[in-house]
């Protein structure tokens, strides 16, 4: 069911949220308004409850490594490139508006870097969009970073209560835009730039509301296909694409699947026969089918898929992979998907 757009959190709500972040440690209690936009600098020590862990900051970090593109683009949007000593795990080119700032920051790896590579930058803070970096087989556990005096932060968009979705957990509650705004505000408070965080949230929400106002209600169904030609990975019903679908009043035909990106079969895909196929157009080349052009070629030539309604009616909408991940790029994805749906509706 389409619940409509969510309202921008009020100033009072922001005050309560950021007040909850402030900790006192052994010092006097921190004033509740310390980190609210327009009311001065962050008061340290600052305590952040983050995905089941308590992280305490005695001062703003000076050397941060971002392990994911989503986290990187938030930090760049907050004007923190001078604090960034490394980035990693890119699916797409950086936002054009952030290209100059990003050029000043070393890229440690296109995929996940090793723990040793991260340590070589001498960071005092590490951020991640996905908990796989902190899980076994990832870059390193958060406790291992802490042992060397490096604080860590995981995006609230990857947390279901105290469990990391991409760190081995399962999402049980739908992702909301509020989780993204929480990440922006928390990072802004950590780096002592709270007003920049509020400005970024306001800008994103204004764009989001404008995109929603331009889309008429519809009964269209859609599938969101991320990658892989043999075993397609599609969006389930609780992650970022599901949020886009809900906002735009589109039914995700794989909404019954709980994982963010579960694997399915083409036979199942054909059985569900969506009106629209939203295809991730990835800048990487890890698997066959990463690019939208490869996806389109496959869909239109494979005997199993060429009879799909979306293929026959040429209702294929490409979005950057980053626009289908929980990040500030979701708003870009919302705008692009809204434009694509308007074209589909006009041709119906």
The pLDDT tens digits of the residues spanning 44-94 come to 999 999 999 999 999 999 999 999 999 999 999 999 999 999 999 998 999
Same domain, 45 and 167: yes
CA distance 37 to 203: 14
Are 157 and 222 in the same domain? no
Residue 29 and residue 102 in one domain: yes
pLDDT digits (tens, 9 = 90+) for 245-300: 999 999 999 999 988 999 999 999 999 999 999 999 998 777 788 999 999 999 99
Looking at the fold, whether 226 and 321 belong to one and the same domain comes out as: yes
Q: Which domain holds residue 244?
A: 217-347
Which of 204, 251, 246, 211 lies closest to 342 in space, CA to CA?
Answer: 211
Q: Is residue 167 part of a domain?
A: yes
Answer yes or no: do 161 and 66 share one domain.
yes
Asked if 203 and 235 sit in the same domain, the reply is no
- Whether 97 is covered by a domain: the verdict is yes
Q: Are residues 238 and 271 in the same domain?
A: yes
Overall average pLDDT of the 206-231 stretch: 91
Whether 163 is in a domain gets the answer: yes
Verify that 231 and 200 share a domain, yes or no: no
Task: Choose the weakest-confidence range: 86-90, 92-96, 106-110, 341-345.
Answer: 341-345
Q: CB–CB of 278/224 below 8 Å? A: yes
Place of tokens 């001498």: 122
Look up the pTM and report it.
0.86
Which of 161, 183, 210 is at the close of a domain?
A: 210
Q: Is residue 2 part of a domain?
A: no
pLDDT by residue (tens digit) across 5-49? 333 333 333 333 443 333 333 323 333 333 333 445 899 999 999
CA distance linking residue 296 with residue 59, whole number of Å = 50
Task: Please identify, among 183, 210, 237, the residue that sits at the C-terminal boundary of a domain.
Answer: 210
Domain count, the chain: 2
pLDDT higher than threshold 90 for residue 309: yes
Shared domain for 136 and 259, answered yes or no, is no
> Terminal CA-to-CA distance of the chain, rounded, Å?
22
DSSP code per residue over 169-219: ----S---HHHHHHHHHHHHHHTT-HHHHHHHHHHHHHHHHHHHHT-----
Residue 105 near residue 94 (C-beta atoms within 8 A): no
> Domain with 228 in it: what CATH number?
3.40.50.1980
Considering the domain architecture, whether residues 338 and 288 belong to the same structural domain is answered as yes
Question: Does residue 146 sit within a domain?
Answer: yes
Tell me the mean pLDDT in the region 110-136. 97
Q: Which of 210, 244, 260 is the last residue of a domain?
A: 210
Structural domain contains residue 238: yes
By C-alpha distance, which of 60, 59, 62 is closest to 27? 59
In a domain, 4, yes or no: no
Do 105 and 167 lie in a common domain?
yes
Same domain as 246, residue 132: no
Q: What are phi and psi of 79, to 5 degrees?
A: 75, 35
Q: Is 6 a member of any domain?
A: no
């Amino acid at each position: 069911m389409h619940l409509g757009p969510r309202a921008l959190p009020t100033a009072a709500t922001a005050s309560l949220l950021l007040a909850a972040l402030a900790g006192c440690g052994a010092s006097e209690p921190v004033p509740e308004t310390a980190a609210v936009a327009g009311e001065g600098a962050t008061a340290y020590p600052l305590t952040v409850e983050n995905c089941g862990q308590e992280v305490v900051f005695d001062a703003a970090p000076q050397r941060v490594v971002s392990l994911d593109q989503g986290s990187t683009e938030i930090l760049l949007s907050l004007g923190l490139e001078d604090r960034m000593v490394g980035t990693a795990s890119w699916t797409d080119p950086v936002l054009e508006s952030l290209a100059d700032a990003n050029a000043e920051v070393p890229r440690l790896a296109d995929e996940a870097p090793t723990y040793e590579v991260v340590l070589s930058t001498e960071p005092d803070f590490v951020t991640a969009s996905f908990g796989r970096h902190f899980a076994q087989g990832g870059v390193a556990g958060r406790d291992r970073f802490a042992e060397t005096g490096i604080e860590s932060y995981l995006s609230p968009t990857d947390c279901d209560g105290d469990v990391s979705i991409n760190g081995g957990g399962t999402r049980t509650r739908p992702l909301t835009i509020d989780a993204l705004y929480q990440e922006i505000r928390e990072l802004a408070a950590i780096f002592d730039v709270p007003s920049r965080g509020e400005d970024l949230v306001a800008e994103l929400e204004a764009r989001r509301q404008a995109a929603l106002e331009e889309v008429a209600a519809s009964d269209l169904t859609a599938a969101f296909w991320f990658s892989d030609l043999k075993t397609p990975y599609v969006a389930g019903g609780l992650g970022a694409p599901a949020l886009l679908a809900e906002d735009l009043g589109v039914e995700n035909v794989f909404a019954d699947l709980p994982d963010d990106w579960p694997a399915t079969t083409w036979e199942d895909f054909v059985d569900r026969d969506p009106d629209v196929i939203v295809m991730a157009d990835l800048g990487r080349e890890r698997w066959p089918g990463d690019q939208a052009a490869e996806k389109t070629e496959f869909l239109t030539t494979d005997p199993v898929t060429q009879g799909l309604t979306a293929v026959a009616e040429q209702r294929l909408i490409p979005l950057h992979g980053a626009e289908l991940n929980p990040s500030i790029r979701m708003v870009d994805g919302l705008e692009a998907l809204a434009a694509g749906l308007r074209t589909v509706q006009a041709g119906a």
